[in-house]
Structures are given as structure tokens and as C-alpha cells.
Amino acid sequence: MKQRFPVVATIIVGLAIAAMIALGVWQLQRKGQKEALLVQLAANRSLPPIAFPRIPVDDSLLFRRASAFCLQAVSFSVEGGRNAAGRTGWRHIARCRTGVEGPGLTVLMGVAKAPDAKPAWGGGEVTGYITHAPDHRPMIATWFSHQPKTLMLVADPPVAGLDANPQPDLASVPNNHLAYAVQWFLFALVAGVIYAIALRRRLKA
């Protein structure tokens, strides 16, 4: 009996390959956007200080010097990290109340040698630079999220009793979109080759 051409399977594989190619093109577009952002971040380090933004913004203010006033430190958290000298330690992060209403303020107070070495700090004036607050969402979830990441003020100088925080580092902003694009294109190529071989064998059977 003559084998029928697998129309449905071919359409499904074709759509999957098209989606992979589209993701690769999207990553190439993201590569250009990230390169422009890195130029902006390099310039931010030498710009005059600003007030810490009270509403969510994009990444264009990262590494900009800023100041804010913490009315009250309402909660604390600890994350692993390094101090300005490159030694490993524990980053102590405070969540502050800045007013009766509106968004709060996240402050990286400094780095300690132990996770339980929380400083006796209830709030006050903070100066430093802007970066992202810790985000534990999966990477793929952040790709497709339209909500800006939470910003954090890295205290410089640190709160008394804690080691100094690292200075802004462009290397901390990954730009691996080209690698992701190549991966998606390779996935599309491999899927196409495998399906073509399988289809040929089916029609020859």
C-alpha cells in the first residue's frame, strides 16, 4: 500500500522550525538593544546623582548615582555575594518604607562575613548607585515579562558595621544573546534535517 504524505506532522514540524527561527531573530534584535544599553550604562557612572526613582523604570538608569531616604527598615534579607575587595560574604538587604503610600525602597546595606551579622539600622539617608534587586524567577520568565525588574540602591558608603559593596561593573550585565540566537538556529536546522531523514525513510518504505 502506498504511504500517504504526513501532512499534519509536516505542518507541526514546520511551525516548530519557524518558531525556533523567529526566536533566533528575536535574540539578534535583543543583542543590538543590549549593546546600546551597555553604552548607556558606561556613561551613567559619570553622570550627576539623581533621586532614586519612585516608580518602575527600564534599565536605562542602572549604575547611575542616586540618593533616597528610608523612613523605616521594615524587613531584611540575606543573599550570598562579594564585597568591594572581592571576598565572599553575605549581602544584607533592607526593604524600606518611604511614605504612607507608593512603592518602597530596596537597599543593599553592605556585606558581612556572617549571615546573622545584621546591623542595627532602622533607616535614614542613603546614597549609592542603582542596580537590580535580586530576582529569583527563572531566566525564561524574565525574557517574556513586560514588567520592569525591581531596582535597588547599593549603599556607598555602606551602613556602619558592614563591608563596602562592589562598585558598578559592566561585566555583571550579560550580553549572550548571540549565543542564544545561534542555539535556536541550530535547533531549527537539526529539527529540519532529522524530519527530512525520517520523511524520506517513510516514503521509501
Instruction: Write the pLDDT tens digit of every residue in 93-113.
Output: 999 988 765 558 999 999 998
Which one, of 196, 191, 134, 190, lies nearest residue 16 by Cα? 191
Is it the case that residue 1 has pLDDT exceeding 60? no
Per-residue burial over 123-136, b if 16 or more Cβ lie within 10 Å, else e, is: beebebbbbebeee
Which comes out higher in pLDDT, residue 135 or 69? 69
Q: What is the model's pLDDT at position 116? A: 81
Is it the case that residue 49 has pLDDT exceeding 90? yes
Average pLDDT across the chain, whole number: 87
Residue type, 75: S
By residue count, the chain amounts to 205
- Interval 138-184: pLDDT, tens: 656 555 556 668 899 999 999 988 999 999 888 888 888 999 999 99
Is it the case that residue 194 has pLDDT exceeding 90? yes
**Which sign, positive or negative, has the C-alpha torsion 156, 159, 161, 162?**
negative
pTM of full prediction above 0.85: no
Domain boundaries along the sequence of the chain: 1-45+172-205, 47-167
Residue type, 198: A
Q: What is the model's pLDDT at position 20? A: 96
**Which sign, positive or negative, has the C-alpha torsion 12, 15, 17, 20?**
negative
